[in-house]
């Protein structure tokens, strides 16, 4: 079974944003924008649903904590920006599952 377009976009966006972040390459602003967009598309697609796709749930459950934990790789100022992004992403994730 293939994933829906919004799930495919979400999985791709998560990978493109988090891998460089965890590799201490910093936050890619374009990838962050794509992640925001993908999360908003998922929220809209699932708004009237009682369930969300399992592949998406597996990514969403750890997304914000994974971003936040990557902040410890960076200096204090940059780490604060990463933590701010993790809070924003957590809010977007809540929109997807509420």
Q: In this predicted model, what pLDDT tens digit does every residue of 42-95 receive, in sequence order?
A: 999 999 999 999 999 999 999 999 999 999 999 999 999 999 999 999 999 999
Nearest Cα neighbor of 36 from 97, 85, 98, 72 is 85
What are the domain boundaries of the chain?
Answer: 5-97
Q: Would you state the pLDDT for residue 98?
A: 87
pTM, rounded to two decimals = 0.94
Structure-block tokens of residue 54: 């399992």
pLDDT band at 3 (very low <50, low <70, confident <90, very high): confident
b/e sequence 67-91, b meaning 16+ C-beta within 10 Å: bbebbeebeeeeeeebbebbebbbe
8 Å CB contact between 73 and 24: yes
């Amino acid at each position: 079974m293939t994933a829906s377009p919004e799930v495919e976009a979400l999985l791709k966006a998560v990978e493109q944003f988090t891998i460089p972040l965890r590799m201490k390459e910093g936050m890619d602003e374009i990838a962050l924008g794509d992640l925001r967009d993908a999360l908003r598309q998922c929220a809209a697609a699932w708004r009237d649903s009682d369930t969300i796709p399992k592949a998406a749930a597996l990514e969403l459950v750890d997304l914000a904590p994974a971003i936040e934990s990557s902040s410890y790789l960076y200096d204090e100022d940059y780490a604060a920006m990463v933590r701010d992004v993790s809070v924003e992403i957590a809010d977007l994730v809540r929109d997807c599952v509420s």
